Amino acid sequence: MSGISAAVRAAVRALKVGLRTSKAFSKEPWAPAGLLSDGGEDESGMPRYANVPPEAFPILRSRQEGAHYALWLDDPAANVDPPVVEVRPKSGLPETLRIVARNAQEFLQVIETSGTRRQKSRSWTEKVGERAALERARRVRYPTIDGLGVVCPPEAAAERPTLSELGGWTGPEWSRLFRGSVERWLKEGAPGLALAVARDLLITGRALQIDGFERSLAQVYHRLGRAPLARVTLSTYDWHRRMA
C-alpha cells in the first residue's frame, strides 16, 4: 500500500518476525491476518466489519467471533510508532475497541507473557494497556465513542452535535443532514471534527444506514491527507453494500 511511513513499515516487519518466531504465540487460538492489506479484505479473505474504523489494520485474527488485534494508524504516512488495539466487533461498547500496547514491540512482549505467571498476576499486562491509553489520550484532539479519539493538527473551531442529537439523526433526512454537515465542517476547516462525528456513527453501527456515508468519510480522509484510509473506507463499504 502506498503512503505508508517508514515507522509503520518497521512495525509491520517487527510483527511478522516476532509472531513467526514466538513460542507463546504458537499456543494461542490466533492466526496471522493481512498486514496492511489494501481494501475490505485481509489476506485470509475475511471482510472488515462495518463497525470497525478504517484506522484499524488487522495483524492477528481469532478463529471465532471476529476478534482480532490491529495496528491503529491515525495517519499511515506519519512517521510515528502505531499503537496496537484489540478489536471485538461483535461485542458492544466499550469492548469493541481497546488499546493494549503503545507499539509493536510492546505488543510482542504482551504476547510472550500470554499464559505465564506474569500475565496471570493481572498487574503487568493491564498496566501496559493503561499506560498506552494514557499516552494516547495526550495526543487526542477530539474524543470519540470508540475510546480511541481523533488525532489531528489544530484546526478551526466548529460546533459538534451532541450524542443525543446524533441519536435524533433518523428518517429520510438523516443522510442529507450528515452529508451536509460534513461539507460544512470541511468548508469551516474542521476535518478532524467531521472524522470524530463519522467515527461515532460508524462504531455504533449506523454508517450503513446513511446513503453516501463512505464517500463523505473518504472526503474527510483526503482532506486530512490520509489517502490509504479513504481507499479502505470505500472498498469496505462497497463490499458491505453489495452483500446487503
- pLDDT digits 0-9 by tens, 162-179: 888 887 766 778 888 999
User: What is the SS3 assignment for 29?
Assistant: coil
C-alpha cell at 88: 471485538
State in Å, rounded, how far the first CA of the chain is from the last one: 28
In our burial notation (b when 16+ CB lie closer than 10 A, e otherwise), range 151-162 reads bbeebeebebbe
**Does pLDDT of 116 surpass 70?**
no
**Does pLDDT of 49 surpass 90?**
no
Q: What is the model's pLDDT at position 38?
A: 41
In the numeric block, the cell 504476547 is attached to 111
In the numeric block, the cell 463512505 is attached to 214
CA distance 59 to 85: 10
What does each C-alpha distance from 123 to 87, 110, 166 come to in angstroms? 21, 12, 38
DSSP string, 158-176: -----HHHHHT--STTHHH
Per-residue pLDDT, averaged over 64-80, amounts to 88
pTM equals 0.89
Instruction: Pick the closest to residue 185 from 174, 175, 173, 197 (CA basis).
Output: 197
Per-residue pLDDT, averaged over 20-37, amounts to 58
C-alpha cell at 182: 460534513
H or E segment and range at residue 123: helix 123-139
**Does pLDDT of 121 surpass 90?**
no
Q: Count the residues in the chain.
A: 244
Enumerate long-range contacts of 131-136, CB under 8 Å, 24 or more apart. 131/102, 132/83, 132/99, 132/100, 132/101, 132/102, 132/106, 133/99, 135/102, 136/83, 136/99
Per-residue pLDDT, averaged over 236-244, amounts to 85
Q: What is the model's pLDDT at position 71?
A: 92
C-alpha cell at 226: 490520509
Per-residue pLDDT, averaged over 32-58, amounts to 67
Contact status, residue 114 vs residue 100, Cβ threshold 8 Å: no
Compare 73 and 168 and report the one with higher pLDDT: 73
Lowest-confidence segment of 52-56, 66-70, 120-124, 228-232 by average pLDDT: 120-124
**Does pLDDT of 40 surpass 90?**
no
Lowest-confidence segment of 41-50, 176-185, 200-209, 215-224 by average pLDDT: 41-50
Q: What is the model's pLDDT at position 103?
A: 96
User: What ranges do the domains of the chain cover?
Assistant: 6-139, 163-243
